[in-house]
Amino acid sequence: MLLIPAAGMARAGETVVLRTGFALHADRHEIDGDKVRLYSNGGMTEIGLGAVREFEPDAALTTPEKIAPVPVVAAATPTPAVVVPKPLTPVDLANAAAEKFRLPAAFVRSVMKAESGFQTAALSPKGAIGLMQLMPGTAQVLGVDPKDPKQNADGGAQYLRELLAKYESNPDQVLLALAAYNAGPGAVEKYHGVPPYRETREYILRVLKNWERQEAKP
């Protein structure tokens, strides 16, 4: 084992310079074949002769040159991948709203298609907004923001649910609910049924035909 002395001036003796660049102080040394015995402070250390570069008598021992340690860089903790939620499509919004208000999903999708063609930014000349074409006053009563697609879909489904409940006892419940959604409950009450508006009648037919086609899909 090599004994590396503390830094500072050495006592009289010799400096043993190793091939590694380190230096040892010894009071004296003895060579025995391929071994070298170094005597210092009453102790002895034996090393291989090949490890010694030279002996320097009576030299001052300086602090061995320190090799800068290689910094150990801890492995970086991998940053977890950020999962960006996939934006909900209009169909997704219609299905979620239908489930929330316990309506047939195909029915809500059919109304949404007839109202806006699934266009989130749709705006009618009369001021109806979004996927389910909610009028600002209706949206306010329902407590939804018509410009927010999800709230718009939820508001439309809620309004459909309320209209279906309103005409629950009428054999033409669905027709009257759709007519009221399109033309307003006041028009239905005025004509005691589906109002004679061409737009409203065509609207009801579009919803029912599309609903039938979707229900027929496997």
User: Which sequence positions are flagged as catalytic?
Assistant: 115
Q: How far apart are CA 43 and CA 60, in angstroms?
A: 20
Residues 11-33: b if buried by 16+ CB within 10 A, e if exposed: eebbbbbeeeebbbbbeebeeee
Go through the chain and tell me how many residues it has: 218
**Residue 9: HSE in the Cβ half-sphere, 13 Å Cα cutoff:** 3
Helices (H) and strands (E) in the chain, counts: 7, 6
Reference 95, options 83, 104, 82; nearest CA is 104
Residue 50: count other Cβ atoms within 10 Å of its Cβ. 10
Q: How far apart are CA 10 and CA 16, in angstroms?
A: 12
Which distant-in-sequence residues (6+ apart) come within 8 Å of 132 by Cβ? Answer: 111, 112, 115, 116, 152, 153, 155, 156, 157, 159
